[in-house]
């Protein structure tokens, strides 16, 4: 049982008028918002003002945005809104982790997790309701794919966490940005972020935008199972950090546990990740995520094979002991097996971390996020494959036509000053 379950009334979800025809400004990156105001016949600097109200002060009511004219306030009230997704439940774990259940427009529910640590606070954000990739050890994949989250639904999770945890300037007028509860964001909630490319890019842009959350690019991490054409496009849109869910040291095993590997094998994946890292203006390495599953990929031989595979590939390795869930027969390895695996990699001179399980009394640990997709019927294997095929084709086609309808580019994100804080 969760140590606390508070319903949304108690949490005080901000009251927001919901009118389908109004334009929701919450998910708009700075260039999008500038274009919006320009179309209205307003000066582009209005975008910066409104953005600060929304994302730095947490204000959703145009009437409270005191540095914009009365006339513009009224116009915005008629045409626009600032609408965060609805938070339907909150869980607080014994270790201080929060899990929020977020209801999205498709009717599905996704989950957001906040993990406080002594030196940082990490928000784990969802990008899709369900997931099409169906990795064999992941609870989210078991329910199939339901919908892509909108940019507002993605950034809305960060907006909400700030609202809830007192991170907005209005709530704590003397607190600097660095004192905010959320210092890091990982796109490691439900879904495959790179299969919801445009919306995730708009949300990332806001996370790192100085006039919004101003998070360092080192503290915003995309995690992907390996959608290679999308990784190849990434450098034109963002310079966020990257984590790759590898989970196996060879294609034969990876084909079984991460099915997208059948389309994009390890060699291609590592090539695309290396290209992205090389495109970054600063020196950073990707994180290789490796979920350790007892008897599947945790043998000493696998560790040796992994050490050899990555010998020319600068990276950090993060071992994630498998987190069990109801529909899975997999088991978490013993501490001994985990330590042996880690030791082999350390002896091969890799920087290795073992992810500690947080929030598992509220089902908030990695891979335990299940949300609740609107259509609970599990899609047939054939449908699943066809859908994955077409998603991937769409990504590939987009990669080919790159540059077409971009509303923002990496240059927009690069406006963020270089971060002098210590990398994580």
Shortest distance, position 4 Cβ to ligand SAH, whole Å:
24
Segment 85 to 124, residues that bind ligand SAH, using CB under 6 A: none
Task: Please report how close the Cβ of residue 344 comes to ligand SAH at its closest, in angstroms.
Answer: 20
For residues 87 and 109, give the distance between their C-alpha atoms in angstroms, rounded to a whole number. Answer: 9
Q: Does 223 bind ligand SAH (CB under 6 A)?
A: yes
> Which residue lies nearer to ligand SAH by CB, 31 or 121?
121
Longest dimension (CA), the chain: 69
Task: Report DSSP letters for 365-378, one per residue.
Answer: STT----B-S--SP
Residue of 84, 188, 206, 231 that binds ligand SAH (CB under 6 A): 188
Active site residues: 111, 366
Q: Kindly give the pairing relationship between strand 351-354 and strand 316-321.
A: parallel
Residue (179 or 327) nearer to ligand SAH, CB: 327
Which residue carries 């290789």 as its tokens? 288
DSSP 362: G
The answer to whether 157 and 123 are in contact (CB under 8 A) is yes
* Cα–Cα dist 163/228, whole Å: 35
* Contact characters 323-362, ligand SAH, x per CB under 6 A: x---------------------------------------
- Check residue 192 for interaction with ligand SAH (CB under 6 A): yes
Residues 62-74 as b/e (b if ≥16 CB within 10 A, e otherwise) read beebeebeeebee
The tokens of 174 are what? 């003397």
Pairing of strands 109-116, 98-103: antiparallel
Q: Which of 320, 344, 362, 364 binds ligand SAH (CB under 6 A)?
A: 320
Would you say 220 or 366 has its CB closer to ligand SAH? 366
The smaller minimum CB distance to ligand SAH, of residues 167 and 189, is found at: 189
Instruction: Answer yes or no whether residue 413 interacts with ligand SAH by CB under 6 A.
Output: no
For 221, the token pair is 């991490």
| Residue 225 interacting with ligand SAH (CB under 6 A) | yes
Q: Of the candidates 62, 137, 213, 264, which one interacts with ligand SAH according to CB under 6 A?
A: 137
Nearest-approach distance from CB 130 to ligand SAH, in angstroms: 11
Please list every residue from 282 through 301 that binds ligand SAH, using CB under 6 A: 289, 291
* Span near ligand SAH by CB under 6 A; candidates 20-28, 32-40, 133-141, 199-207: 133-141
- The residue whose Cβ lies closest to ligand SAH is 367
Considering only CA atoms, which of 56, 26, 31 is closest in space to residue 44? Answer: 31
CA distance 382 to 264: 19
Contact between 135 and ligand SAH by CB under 6 A: the answer reads: yes
CA distance 148 to 198: 10
Quickly count: other Cβ atoms within 10 Å of residue 321's Cβ. Answer: 23
Q: What gap in Å lies between CA 164 and CA 364, rounded to an integer?
A: 18
Identity of the residue, 188 or 240, whose beta carbon is nearer to ligand SAH in the bound complex: 188
Q: Is 138 in the site for ligand SAH (CB under 6 A)?
A: yes
Size of the site for ligand SAH (CB under 6 A): 16
Interface residues toward ligand SAH, by CB under 6 A:
135, 137-138, 188, 192, 223-225, 245, 289, 291, 320, 322-323, 366-367
């Amino acid at each position: 049982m969760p140590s606390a379950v508070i319903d949304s009334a108690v949490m005080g979800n901000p009251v927001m008028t919901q009118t389908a025809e109004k334009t929701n400004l919450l998910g708009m990156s700075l260039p999008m918002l500038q274009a919006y105001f320009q179309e209205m016949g307003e000066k582009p600097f209005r975008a910066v003002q409104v953005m600060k109200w929304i994302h730095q002060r947490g204000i959703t009511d145009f009437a409270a945005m005191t540095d914009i004219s009365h006339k513009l306030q009224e116009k915005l009230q008629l045409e626009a809104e600032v609408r965060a997704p609805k938070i339907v439940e909150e869980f607080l774990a014994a270790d201080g982790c929060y899990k929020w259940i977020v209801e999205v427009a498709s009717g599905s529910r996704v989950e957001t997790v906040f993990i406080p640590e002594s030196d940082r606070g990490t928000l784990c954000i969802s990008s899709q309701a369900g997931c099409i990739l169906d990795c064999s050890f992941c609870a989210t994949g078991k329910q199939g794919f339901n919908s892509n989250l909108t940019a507002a639904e993605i950034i809305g999770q960060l907006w909400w966490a700030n609202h809830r945890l007192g991170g907005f300037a209005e709530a704590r007028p003397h607190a600097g940005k660095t004192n905010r509860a959320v210092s890091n964001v990982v796109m490691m909630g439900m879904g495959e972020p790179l299969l919801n490319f445009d919306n995730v890019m708009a949300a990332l842009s806001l996370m790192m935008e100085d006039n919004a959350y101003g998070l360092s690019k080192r503290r915003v991490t995309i995690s992907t199972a390996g959608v290679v054409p999308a990784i190849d496009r990434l450098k034109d849109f963002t310079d966020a950090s990257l984590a790759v869910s590898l989970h196996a040291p060879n294609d034969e095993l990876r084909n079984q546990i991460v099915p997208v590997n059948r389309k994009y094998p390890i060699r291609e994946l590592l090539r695309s990740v290396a290209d992205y890292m090389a495109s970054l203006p600063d020196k950073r390495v990707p994180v290789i995520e490796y979920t350790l599953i007892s008897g599947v990929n945790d043998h000493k031989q696998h560790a040796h094979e992994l050490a050899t595979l990555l010998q020319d590939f600068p990276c950090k390795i993060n071992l994630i002991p498998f987190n069990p869930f109801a529909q899975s027969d997999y088991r978490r390895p013993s501490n001994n097996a985990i330590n042996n695996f880690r030791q082999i990699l350390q002896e091969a001179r890799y920087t290795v971390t073992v992810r500690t399980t947080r929030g598992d009394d509220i089902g908030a640990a990695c891979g335990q996020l299940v949300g609740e997709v609107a259509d609970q019927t599990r899609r047939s294997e054939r449908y699943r494959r066809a859908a994955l095929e077409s998603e991937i084709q769409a990504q590939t086609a987009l990669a080919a036509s790159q540059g077409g309808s971009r509303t923002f580019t990496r240059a927009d994100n690069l406006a963020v000053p270089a971060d002098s804080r210590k990398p994580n």
